[in-house]
Structure 1
Amino acid sequence: DPGYERIGIAVLEKILNSSDVEKLIYSDCFKTSASIVFAERLCLIGKEIERIIKKYKPKALAIEKLYFNTNQKTATMVSEARGVFIYIAIKNKLKIFEYTPLQIKSAVCGDGRGDKKQIITMIKNLIKIDKLIKYDDEYDAIAAGITCFASERNL
């Protein structure tokens, strides 16, 4: 889940021949401080994404596309953070899959109009989560991963 203040990150594994289609390997909400210069925050984000890629060795990056935001400054900063995600993923030879919020809601809830509560409930029904998740950003990242597995059959 791209951002620059709170970044939802999840690593999922597709398990074949199992009752669980996807397994949550890792998830977190990485945070950067507003007291740090924005360019340095982008570097911290890049280092964290690269650390996770090197540790878990995923094959793909599923990332949410931006929807129109009325706050141009925020939209620009989130776009720059997305660029860091995509750059690090390509540098590490990952496939990139981008999904709109509507596509993610449809894949997880079966309906593009699902709200946050419905999405979280469906995620908990689809994937076993053994930890407390405090931020929606983390659920958003898990939802993007579920969408990728539902959309990309050859992964």
Structure 2
Amino acid sequence: MRVLGVDPGLTRCGLGVVDGGLGIRAHLVEVGVVRTPATAEVAERLCAVSDGIDAWLDRTRPEAVAVEKVFSQANMRTVMGTAQAGAVAIVLAARRGLPVGLYTPSEVKAAVTGSGRADKAQVSFMITRLLGLTEAPRPADAADALALALCHLWRGPALARFRSAAPGGPTR
């Protein structure tokens, strides 16, 4: 399965694509960030993020998209920008009929390091090891996007089975 991980943000939106599956070692397809200037208007920045993610979807052709869930922060402006960029990714995936997995930072950290309290350095170290990279992806947003993709690769199929087995069947 090929998964696009999206670490949403307006200044830097991390994107990472991995291939893998049950019993198949995951490997890196592509990693990077979409950047927008902090001085630009929000609408312009969201359009740039949308264009960037759309280009990645066209180029890498993922089978699923994993997006970080927004969590509460003290800086409301940062939360809003993160939520807006995440919503852009969700809409773009939904328009293509791609399943979307939403994961909290703690879920992602636990999936790749074994601890939901891991710091960015630990996540980056494990991403480097798990994907057999010679160096850690930079910036941290790129490593986080790969962590999201791996989290979905490993947890997404099981979560889909649980949802299907729940009373009322699968939900979107």
Does TM-score exceed 0.5, indicating one fold? yes
Residues 127 and 136, structure 2, Cα contact 8 Å, conserved in 1? no
1:77 matched residue in structure 2:
81
CA distance in 1, matches of 2:52, 2:148: 18
Residue 19 (structure 2) pairs with residue 13 (structure 1): yes
CA distance in 2, matches of 1:131, 1:116: 15
After superposition, the Cα gap between the structure-2 partners of 1:102 and 1:16, relative to the gap in structure 1 and judged at 3 Å, is closer
Give 2:91's aligned residue.
87
Alpha carbons 1:11, 1:26 under 8 Å: kept: yes
Unmatched 5+ stretches in structure 2: 1-6, 161-172
The 1-side partners of 2:90 and 2:68 are apart by 11
Aligned 8 A contact 1:15 1:23 in 2: no
Q: Which runs of 5+ in 1 are unaligned?
A: none
- Contact kept, 8 Å, 2:66 with 2:100, in 1: the verdict is yes
- Between 1:127-136 and 1:67-76, the stretch displaced more is 127-136
Identity %: 31
Residue 4 of structure 1 is matched in structure 2 by 10
Q: TM-score by structure 1 length?
A: 0.91
Deviation at 1:28, TM superposition (A): 0.2
- Alpha-carbon separation, structure 2, partners of 1:11 and 1:135: 15
Deviation of 1:131 (Å): 6.3
Q: Are the aligned partners of 2:66 and 2:102 in contact in 1 as well (CA < 8 Å)?
A: yes
Residue in 2 that maps onto 1:62: 66
In the TM superposition, residue 22 of structure 1 has moved relative to its aligned partner by 0.7
Deviations 1:96-119 (A, max 9, x none): 000011100110011111111111
Instruction: Tell me the equivalent position of 2:140.
Output: 136
Q: How many residues align?
A: 153
Task: Tell me: CA distance 1:101–1:132, structure 2 relative to 1, closer, same or farther (3 Å).
Answer: closer
The TM-score normalised by the length of structure 2 is 0.83
Cα-Cα RMSD: 1.8
- The Cα shift of 1:74 comes to 1.7
